[in-house]
Amino acid sequence: MMQIWNRALAALALVAAAVLASAVHAAPAHPADEDGYELWLRYRPLPQAHAPRWNTIVFDGAPSATVRAAIDELRRGAQGMTGKDLALGTRVTDGAVVLARAGKLPAGVDGAGLADLGREGYLLKSATVAGKRVTVIAANDDIGLLYGAFGLLRAANTGKPLDRLDERSAPKLQLRVLNHWDNLDRSVERGYAGQSIWNWWELPDVRDRRYVDYARANASLGINGTVLNNVNSKPEILTAPWIAKAAALADVLRPYGIKVYLSARFSTPLELKETKTADPLSPEVAAWWRNKADEIYRAIPDFGGFLVKANSEGQPGPQDYHRTHVDGANMLAAALAPHNGVVMWRAFVYAAEKPDDRAKQAYDEFKPLDGKFARNVLVQVKNGAIDFQPREPFHPLFGAMPATPLMMEFQITKEYLGFAMHMAYLGPLFEETLTSDTMRQPGGLTVAQVLEDAAHGKRPTGMAGVANVGSSRTWSGSHFDQANWYAYGRFAWDPQGSARAFAEEWATQTFARDPKAVQGIVDMMMMSREAVVNYMTPLGLHHLMDTGHHHGPGPWVDNLGRPDWNPTYYHKADRQGIGFDRTARGSNALAQYAPALAARWSDPRTTPPELLLWFHHLPWDYAMPSGRTLWAELVGHYDRGVAQAEELRTRWERMKPFVDARRYDEVRERLDVQVKEAHWWRDASVAYFQSVSGLALPPGARPPARSLDEYKAIRFPYAPGH
């Protein structure tokens, strides 16, 4: 009898073991193939030692939609990381996760400092309540609880000790928004991740389930606004059918703390034939916009406001009526002010009348307007003065308009850094800009500090990122481009954050928790942008891409409609030398920077080598600090870029054991293309500059694989995003 039982028991144990082996707790030997859709919110099973010991979620009261979102996410995370389905309760037990708003903190929990965290901040605390070990998420508002839930899940997912949490976090900028350059036909300007995720045609009736996942991803980073449509806007977006579509999206996004904004075309009322002019000082026009704002707010009570690209690249604007940016922005601001909406007025302007240096124009136009904008206007300034190049010095407007709220505009989509094909982690680019010292204050004033506007405090602050989100299954067109969305969101929350730290968080959550894998992947990410700079635009060169589509090299292009559309305008290479002289001897764009900085950068010897040719025109035989000539150094940088692209591929091969087969292969395919295109950029650029300089290649440098004419003949009539 005993034997029979033993045998039955053994058999049953075998069954149970076999089944358990395939169940959720056991990490599979070979991770399943993944398609990237889950982003960094993957919540894979944690080893027992690090797994959270949560067993209930406690919330006292009727949960709002936002609190429900927090509860759902905690349950999803716990299910994924521990296999446990968390019940929702009101009684504190051992292992409870307590969501508590200020004033409702469990007795004995120290809520000190909570009041300073604002509406969106949160506390995470390990605590003992009535003898029970609990984890408290505390905030002043429901959105803080949601952000705290994501913060707690991130802590668990990245292996932080969960039994002695004591974290406080609050955003340093108020408006943390994505700018979608999404058109109404669902194409995306400079989009490399498929069509717009906004299925305008099916809205408002059909609400794609994906909108919720978009909201979750953004809320996990603290992104709290989204401009739905392209800055090159159309009048229809402000008509009733489209307001209804935007309202449907606003309804989906609202529980996640995300406000909807729209890009407004300045001439909208005129083009809709509802006014006779678009002059901002016309009472008819001002009334139209007031009525339009009222109409929008009836449909979207928490509408964020307007983003405006005016008098730039052919877009209409107040200057068409001999009015100023202030006239235009303040008219719109007056329409939005009763509803607490804002105007984000872009400073990216350049006009044909000022051909001496396009880099100077935004400053020239906007600096004189400092202090004249209405209180609910932010001036949105690109990180650099040209246009989202692989490297630019920080925009001279930062620090130069102390009486005006300036908002940063970064480009997350990689218009100039290899689209969604090249690996280029933008964290270092964001960090480089944000940590730049404007030298506008004694002791220093970084761009991040300008944005945070610590000196004033009462004015709106913000950061915008041109989204890289599309209908692609990976959202961003590639697995690694998801990291740029992530890093953007984290920097918008904390402009003084660290690119490497954000990369570590991202890689851990997205790919693998093994420290060897995280280290390997993060090292790749951290070198990747400099690789692109090296094989595309080293030593401060910029705007060398081919026309229109902006894919691939075109340093020879000199035949476009405006001088400052031509790469030759920017590199000014000739037999003697190369570079754009922006010193006092040249365009004197340097004078737009703080005097101490301008002085430093006026001398090529004290200009950082990576900005050298941005500010200086130098002879080919200029002696670089390395001792090599500028020509040799330039070719050396191109070669280094190619070597770095190859190094990325080699390093990825070492990651194979850590990554599921599908994502491994998909990244690998792209790295093959990157290596190929790095060679192309290097070879075409070297061939061209050699044809200009007439110099022999430095010793050991490989001749370009093809002739310059062959490179010039390459065409891309159907490139995406154009």
Question: Which residues here bind a copy of itself, judged by CB under 8 A?
Answer: 1-2, 5-6, 8-9, 12-13, 15-16, 19-20, 22-23, 35, 183-187, 194-195, 200-202, 205-207, 209, 236, 421, 471, 473, 662, 666, 669-670, 672-673, 676, 717-720
* Closest to 167 measured CA to CA, from 190, 188, 148, 193: 148
- Dihedral angle over CA of 267, 349, 452, 372, nearest 10: -60
Residue 460 tokens, joined: 């709106």
Q: How far is the CB of 412 from a copy of itself (least distance, A)?
A: 19
Q: How far is the CB of 201 from a copy of itself (least distance, A)?
A: 5
CB contact at 8 A, 380 and 434: no
Pairing of the two strands 406-411 and 462-466? parallel
Count the neighbouring beta carbons within 10 Å of the beta carbon of residue 718.
7
CB contact at 8 A, 658 and 512: yes
Q: How far is the CB of 175 from a copy of itself (least distance, A)?
A: 28
Pairing of the two strands 56-59 and 122-129? unpaired
> Between residues 210 and 354, which has the closer beta carbon with respect to a copy of itself?
210
The catalytic position among 313, 665, 669, 710 is: 313
> Between residues 41 and 522, which has the closer beta carbon with respect to a copy of itself?
41
- Helices (H), ranges, 300-400: 325-336, 361-366
* Closest to 310 measured CA to CA, from 384, 231, 367, 410: 231
> Between residues 197 and 483, which has the closer beta carbon with respect to a copy of itself?
197
Cis peptide before 204 (omega within 30 of 0): yes
What CA–CA distances, in Å, run from 91 to 56, 61, 97, 129, 313? 9, 12, 11, 11, 60
Q: 653: helix, coil or strand?
A: helix
CB contact at 8 A, 663 and 479: yes
The catalytic position among 387, 409, 639, 683 is: 387
Identify whether 387 is a catalytic site residue: yes
Q: How far is the CB of 185 from a copy of itself (least distance, A)?
A: 4
The catalytic position among 415, 546, 633, 639 is: 415
* CA 413 – CA 388 distance, rounded (Å): 10
Q: Where are the beta strands (DSSP E) in 505-610?
A: 577-578
- Kindly give, in sequence order, each residue whose CB lies less than 8 Å from that of residue 483, ignoring residues fewer than 6 positions away: 425, 427, 503, 506, 507, 510, 525
Q: How far is the CB of 21 from a copy of itself (least distance, A)?
A: 10
CB contact at 8 A, 89 and 129: no
- The continuous run of DSSP H or E covering 15 comes out as helix 2-21
> Between residues 36 and 540, which has the closer beta carbon with respect to a copy of itself?
36
* CA 381 – CA 400 distance, rounded (Å): 12
Identify whether 202 is a catalytic site residue: no
Sign of CA dihedral 154, 157, 158, 162: positive
> Between residues 294 and 710, which has the closer beta carbon with respect to a copy of itself?
710
Q: How far is the CB of 239 from a copy of itself (least distance, A)?
A: 10
Across the strands, what pairs with 553?
545
* CA 473 – CA 462 distance, rounded (Å): 29
Residue 45, CA atoms < 13 Å, CB-side half-sphere: 15
Q: How far is the CB of 241 from a copy of itself (least distance, A)?
A: 9
Q: How far is the CB of 502 from a copy of itself (least distance, A)?
A: 27
Q: How far is the CB of 14 from a copy of itself (least distance, A)?
A: 10
Identify whether 313 is a catalytic site residue: yes
* CA 631 – CA 618 distance, rounded (Å): 10
Q: In what order do the strands lie in the sheet with 56-59?
A: 87-89, 56-59, 96-101, 132-139, 122-129, 166-169
> Between residues 19 and 112, which has the closer beta carbon with respect to a copy of itself?
19
Task: End-to-end CA distance of the chain: give it in Å, rounded.
Answer: 79
- Dihedral angle over CA of 311, 314, 320, 323, nearest 10: 0
Across the strands, what pairs with 127?
134
Q: Locate tokens 């909807």: which residue?
A: 260
> Between residues 457 and 717, which has the closer beta carbon with respect to a copy of itself?
717
> Between residues 432 and 666, which has the closer beta carbon with respect to a copy of itself?
666
- Helices (H), ranges, 229-281: 240-253, 268-271
> Between residues 395 and 670, which has the closer beta carbon with respect to a copy of itself?
670
Q: How far is the CB of 388 from a copy of itself (least distance, A)?
A: 20
> Between residues 1 and 107, which has the closer beta carbon with respect to a copy of itself?
1
Nearest-Å Rg of the Cα atoms of the chain is 27
Q: How many degrees, rounded to 5, is the angle at CA 687 between CA 681 and CA 693?
A: 125
CB contact at 8 A, 606 and 600: yes
Q: How many degrees, rounded to 5, is the angle at CA 643 between CA 638 and CA 646?
A: 130
> Between residues 148 and 418, which has the closer beta carbon with respect to a copy of itself?
418
Q: How far is the CB of 18 from a copy of itself (least distance, A)?
A: 10
> Between residues 1 and 352, which has the closer beta carbon with respect to a copy of itself?
1
Q: How far is the CB of 16 from a copy of itself (least distance, A)?
A: 4
Q: How far is the CB of 665 from a copy of itself (least distance, A)?
A: 9
> Between residues 113 and 548, which has the closer beta carbon with respect to a copy of itself?
548
- Kindly give, in sequence order, each residue whose CB lies less than 8 Å from that of residue 370, ignoring residues fewer than 6 positions away: 400, 401, 402, 403, 404
CB contact at 8 A, 193 and 477: yes
CB contact at 8 A, 72 and 151: no
Q: Which residues are catalytic?
A: 313, 387, 415
